[in-house]
Structure 1
Amino acid sequence: MIQVNNLKKAYSGVIVVNIPELTINRGESIGLVGNNGAGKTTLFRMILDLIRPDTGTVTLNGEPVAGGEKWKDYTGAYLDEGFLIDYLTPEEYFYFIGGLHQQSRAHVDDFLSQYADFFNGEILNRGKYIRDLSKGNQAKVGIVSCLLQQPELFMLDEPFANIDPTTQFRLKNLIKEQTAKGVTTIVSSHDLNHITDVCDRILLMEKGKIIKDMATNSSTLDELESYFAIGEVEASVNIDPEENH
């Protein structure tokens, strides 16, 4: 499904992504974890051809994403509110996305009806533009617009941020449903509980590199928590004592 080879990206001489090789197979559910600045979002953006790597390639189903078009037909991704058209209402945006995939308004309306619980009465028929919605509700619009495309590849960057616990629970079920259908899912999150619950394989990034690639099992959450706890201790030990005066 996804093949990464010799992928590097640097800003101002600092390498932010350095991945010699990565393969993600069709139907896998991938969790991407790491501290801020680990390179997760940059990797997402290179997979989606939003930024170009300095070296290396990303291919989807054997097609290079750089300059390619076919992969866009089966890829649904929501990274942030910049993916939305904020001067439209949610309904207008859904109709626009549906139209890109030759779906009638009636089809879109029927599709959206299955997400009434997920929307929780806060999205449709509210008379609001997307820009006037909370970040959490904007995320709901972005996530469902991805599903409207019936993707083979489903990518979400920090989807559990800014949404309430009930919506987090519902979102986890949505992600699991996509995996059960054979959709390849890639989700990044700082919430280790959520990511280990919905993903079968975890990629841990640090300073642009994938330093752990593990299948999720009963000990994965403890292993990740231990890793990040040690990181916090090391950071506290390395604080310059002069900074406290």
Structure 2
Amino acid sequence: MIEIKNLKKIYNGVTVVNVPALQINKGESIGLVGNNGAGKTTLFRMILDLIRAESGEVLSNGEVVAGGENWKNYTAAYLDEGFLIDYLTPEEYLYFVGGLHQQNKAQVDEQTAALTEFFNGEIINKGKYIRDLSKGNQCKVGVASCLLQKPDLLMLDEPFANIDPSTQFRLKNILKDQNKNKGVTTIVSSHDLNHVTDVCDRILLMEKGVVIKDIATSSSTLSELEEYFGVGQTIGAAKQTIEFLDKEENH
């Protein structure tokens, strides 16, 4: 479904994304993990044609994304609250999104009702504008707007970051249902290794803009990632410290 070829993005002389080749097949559930600055969000934005590449291209269903329109018909994404119209209430925004996809008010209400548990009584009929909601509740509105679109490709950037544990559990079930039962290709980035390994069948580990590992999720994947981010990072930092001290000593 998604094919990346020689994709590169450079900011101020620093390469922040460098992906020579990557294939994401239809129906896969992909987890994108990495430390801050790894290039995850930049890669997301390039896949969505929000940032132009220095070189290379992203294809969706065989068509180049940059400057294209067809991919927008089957792609839904929520990266942050900037995707929302914050001077609307959640209801107004969801009606707006539904209208863009030829859904009337009754159809939107029906789909919204199915998300009652996910909303947990905090979103609908509260008389608040989106800008007055917490980041967690803004995320709920963003996810709901994606689901309204009934996409073939769903992309969420750090959706677990600001929501409470109960909502995290519900969101995981939603993502599993979208992927396993509805065949939606899902790409989710997260700093929470437990959630991402639970939800995704394939994990892409990014470091300094490069996908350094492409892992089929198994019973050992969580331990492998924990070792990388824990022990591996600690060893790396220790080596840097030793190298620095050696240099100082030699001077």
| TM-score, normalised via structure 2 length | 0.94
Runs of 4+ in 1 over 4 A off after TM superposition: 239-242
Matches within 5 A, 1:180-199: 180=180, 181-199=182-200
Task: State the superposition RMSD in angstroms.
Answer: 1.2
Which letter does structure 2 place at the counterpart of 1:225? Answer: E
Matches within 5 A, 1:52-201: 52-180=52-180, 181-201=182-202
Equivalent in the alignment of 2:211 = 210
Number of equivalent positions = 242
Task: Report the 3-state secondary structure (helix = DSSP H, G, I; strand = E; otherwise coil) of the residue aligned with 1:238.
Answer: helix
Quote the Cα distance in structure 2 between the aligned partners of 1:120 and 1:217. 32
Q: Deviations over 1:139-166 (max 9, x none)?
A: 0000010000000000000000011000
Matches within 5 A, 1:215-226: 215-226=216-227
The Cα shift of 1:63 comes to 1.1
| TM-score, normalised via structure 1 length | 0.97
Quote the Cα distance in structure 2 between the aligned partners of 1:232 and 1:41. 24
The Cα shift of 1:27 comes to 0.2
Quote the Cα distance in structure 1 between the aligned partners of 2:111 and 2:172. 19
Task: Report the 3-state secondary structure (helix = DSSP H, G, I; strand = E; otherwise coil) of the residue aligned with 1:214.
Answer: strand
Task: Report the 3-state secondary structure (helix = DSSP H, G, I; strand = E; otherwise coil) of the residue aligned with 1:187.
Answer: strand
Task: Report the 3-state secondary structure (helix = DSSP H, G, I; strand = E; otherwise coil) of the residue aligned with 1:125.
Answer: coil
Stretches of structure 1 that go unaligned for 5 or more consecutive residues are: none
Quote the Cα distance in structure 2 between the aligned partners of 1:9 and 1:237. 29
Quote the Cα distance in structure 2 between the aligned partners of 1:60 and 1:88. 31
Task: Name the % identity.
Answer: 73
Quote the Cα distance in structure 2 between the aligned partners of 1:203 and 1:237. 25
Quote the Cα distance in structure 2 between the aligned partners of 1:165 and 1:232. 28
Quote the Cα distance in structure 2 between the aligned partners of 1:108 and 1:198. 26
Quote the Cα distance in structure 2 between the aligned partners of 1:232 and 1:124. 45
Quote the Cα distance in structure 1 between the aligned partners of 2:23 and 2:235. 33
Quote the Cα distance in structure 2 between the aligned partners of 1:112 and 1:207. 39
For structure 1, which segment, 233-242 or 56-65, has the greater mean C-alpha deviation from structure 2 after superposition?
Answer: 233-242
Stretches of structure 2 that go unaligned for 5 or more consecutive residues are: none
Equivalent in the alignment of 2:240 = 238
